[in-house]
Amino acid sequence: MQTAWPFFDLMVANLPYQISSQVVFKLLSHRPMFRCAVLMFQEEFALRLTARPGEALYCRLSVNTQLLAKVDQLLKVGKQNFRPPPKVESRVVRIELKNPPPPVNFTEWDGMIRLLFNRKNKTLRSVLMTKAVIKLLEENRQTVKALAKPDAMIDDRPIGDILEEILARESWKDHRASKMDLDQFLQLLAEFNEAGIHFSC
């Protein structure tokens, strides 16, 4: 997976299931953009790609994939179609990158999504108001501050106070990552960044 991929327009593959996640994330960042990828995955992995808010399989993979691509389930492939038959069912999916891609810093986005989906059924406040997360966000702020222009306006209030202010808003009160859609995550990230909270440096 370390090898750079050449230009391609179409990918059709039955991949080793143990590298499914690495392949998907490499596809999502591949440039120049390809037209379409048609791939076979283990059924549960394929369902995670298209899971919706509130569904049991909704996860970081679902959110990141759907942010950057349109994903469709094409067909189910039963175990009986293989010799010897595997222990799992399979599905074929189609992945098409969104063009143009959404105007979001993906590293920053994924930093937030990774934190929120560590405990996706907890409230945003429960996930973010821990000592470990506050320490991480404070370290990020210090890095941003060191790289900023001398006249840049940076909120010096305690990170915990800024988080409390944002998460107390009616739009985020009692929200959980497991029930939030893409637009809500994008809005939340925008509010955090506007307040000087960053999830990557």
Q: Which residues are known binding-site members?
A: 1, 14
| Residues in Cβ contact with 21 at an 8 Å cutoff, skipping those fewer than 6 apart | 45, 61
Cβ 17 vs Cβ 45: under 8 Å:
yes
Q: Which residues are annotated as a binding site for S-adenosyl-L-methionine?
A: 1, 14
Please check whether residue 117 is in contact with residue 54, taking contact to mean a CB–CB distance below 8 angstroms. Answer: no
80/96 Cα distance (integer angstroms):
29
Beta bridge partners of 10: 36
- Compute the distance between CA of residue 101 and CA of residue 70 in angstroms, rounded to an integer: 11
| Backbone angle region of 46, left / alpha / beta, with phi > 0 → left and psi within -120 to 50 → alpha | alpha
Nearest one of 47, 68, 42, 43 to 58, comparing CA atoms:
47
DSSP string covering 141-198, please?
A: HHHHHHHS-TT-----S-HHHHHHHHHTSTTTTT-BGGG--HHHHHHHHHHHHHTT--
Q: Which residue has the tokens 């979001």?
A: 104
